[in-house]
Amino acid sequence: MRWAGIDEAGYGPNLGPLVMTAVVAESPDDRPPDVWGDLPSTVSRAGGPSGRLWVDDSKRVYKGGQGRDRLDSAALATLAATGRVVPKTFGGLMEGLGAGTLDEVELSPWLDSGDPRYPCLRSRSLAESTVARRPLEGAPWRVVDVRAVVVGPGRFNDGLDSTGSKALVHFAAFARLLAHLREATPEGQSVAIRGDKHGGRHFYGDLLAGAFPEAQVIRGPEGPDLSRYEVVEPARKLTLDLVPRADADDGLVALASLVSKAVREHWMDAFNAHWLARIPGLKPTAGYPVDAARFREAIGPLCEAGGLTPRDWWRAR
Taking all residues of the chain, what is their mean pLDDT, rounded to a whole number?
96
Handedness of CA 116, 121, 127, 131 (dihedral sign): positive
Span 26-59, pLDDT tens digits: 999 999 999 999 999 999 999 999 999 999 999 9
pLDDT at 64 over 90: no
The domain of 133 spans 2-269
pLDDT at 262 over 90: yes
CA distance 177 to 179: 5
The pLDDT-based confidence of 263 (bands split at 50, 70, 90) is very high
pLDDT at 311 over 90: yes
| SS3 call for 18 | strand
The pLDDT assigned to 258 comes to: 98
The answer to whether residue 297 is domain-embedded is no
CATH code (residue 10)? 3.30.420.10
Mean pLDDT calculated for residue range 95-106: 98
> Which residues does residue 151 pair with via DSSP β-bridges, in sequence order?
18
The pLDDT assigned to 200 comes to: 83
CA distance 78 to 16: 23
- Phi, psi at residue 300, to the nearest 5°? -50, -50
The answer to whether residue 136 is domain-embedded is yes
The answer to whether residue 290 is domain-embedded is no
pLDDT at 276 over 90: yes
CA distance 311 to 317: 11
User: What is the distance, to the nearest Å, from the Cα of residue 203 to the centroid of all Cα atoms in its chain?
Assistant: 22
The pLDDT assigned to 269 comes to: 97
Mean pLDDT calculated for residue range 62-91: 96
How many folded domains does the chain comprise? Answer: 1
Determine if the pTM surpasses 0.85.
yes
The pLDDT assigned to 10 comes to: 97
The answer to whether residue 212 is domain-embedded is yes
pLDDT at 163 over 90: yes
The answer to whether residue 296 is domain-embedded is no
Calculate ∠ Cα 205-3-93, nearest 5°: 100
Pairing verdict, β 53-54 and 142-151: unpaired
The answer to whether residue 198 is domain-embedded is yes
The pLDDT-based confidence of 128 (bands split at 50, 70, 90) is very high
pLDDT at 199 over 90: no
